[in-house]
Amino acid sequence: MSLLAEHAGVFGETAAGVALGALRRAVDEGELGPDDRVVLVVTGDGLKTPGPVEARLEPVGIDADAGAVLERLGVLT
């Protein structure tokens, strides 16, 4: 989960982390090579299960308000 979040900007749930781990293992064991094309489908949001990565990633607190979110994203000033 944290690897995806840190390097791809995708905060997926634990299932995505497991899928990425299996993919990395397949590469390590030579089942996949540099010419193989792979798609890792991430459908669940990491906000469902933030526990496994909360010590590694610092969350940003934002009020439950659309304007506050847009302001934090830099859309509104």
In a domain, 7, yes or no: yes
Count of domains observed in the chain: 1
Mean predicted confidence (pLDDT) in 39-62: 83
Domain boundaries, position 66: 2-72
In a domain, 26, yes or no: yes
pLDDT value of residue 75:
87
Mean pLDDT of 31-59: 86
pLDDT tens by residue, 56-73: 777 778 889 999 989 988
Q: Which residue has the tokens 């990565």?
A: 53
- Of 65 and 49, the structure prediction assigns the larger pLDDT to 65
Say if 77 falls within a structural domain: no
Tell me the pTM: 0.63
Residue 40 lies in a domain: yes
Report the pLDDT value the prediction gives residue 77, as an integer from 0 to 100: 63
- Give which of 31, 38, 67 is closest to 76, Cα–Cα: 67
Query: Does residue 23 lie within any of the structural domains?
Result: yes
